[in-house]
């Protein structure tokens, strides 16, 4: 990706890791705090949101390739063809960006400044 420095392997290099070395732990912790603030039931987890996003993307836009959605969600595609497994080395970041931008959750209003 052109916006990463040559020796940089992560999109968010300053993202803290957990004691087990997990880089996404901060997102899970932030979700837990939000869940408590909103008084959501215990059975709703950060992973529940991934399932919701996956279902929503697969239902709303037939032009997205399964591989793109799975990559955005950090999943390995269970249904990959032999050609996909052997010959796909990377996905254009613009394709991943289009998947992310397609997400709409009108019930959540996040005030995110434009960059």
- The tens digit of pLDDT for each residue in 57-69 reads 888 877 788 888 8
Q: What pLDDT is stored for residue 111 in this prediction? A: 59
Does residue 15 lie within any of the structural domains? no
Structural domain count of the chain? 1
- The tens digit of pLDDT for each residue in 71-99 reads 888 766 655 555 555 455 567 788 888 88
Does residue 16 lie within any of the structural domains? no
Q: What pLDDT is stored for residue 115 in this prediction? A: 52
- Alpha carbon distance 45, 33 (integer Å): 11
Does residue 89 lie within any of the structural domains? yes
- Alpha carbon distance 53, 46 (integer Å): 11
Does residue 29 lie within any of the structural domains? no
- Alpha carbon distance 79, 49 (integer Å): 22
Does residue 22 lie within any of the structural domains? no
Please state, for a pLDDT cut of 90, what percent of the chain lies above it. 0
Q: Look up the pTM and report it.
A: 0.55
2 three-class SS: coil
Q: Which domain holds residue 74?
A: 64-109
């Amino acid at each position: 990706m052109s916006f990463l420095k040559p020796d940089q392997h992560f999109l968010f290099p300053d993202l803290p890791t957990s004691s087990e070395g997990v880089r996404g732990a901060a997102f899970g912790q932030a979700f837990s705090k939000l869940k408590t603030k909103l008084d959501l039931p215990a059975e709703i987890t950060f992973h529940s949101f991934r399932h919701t996003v996956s279902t929503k993307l697969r239902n709303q836009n037939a032009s997205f390739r399964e591989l793109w959605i799975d990559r955005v969600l950090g999943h390995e595609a269970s249904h990959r063809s032999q050609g996909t497994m052997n010959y796909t080395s990377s996905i254009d970041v613009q394709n991943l960006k289009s998947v992310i931008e397609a997400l709409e959750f009108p019930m959540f209003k996040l005030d995110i400044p434009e960059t």
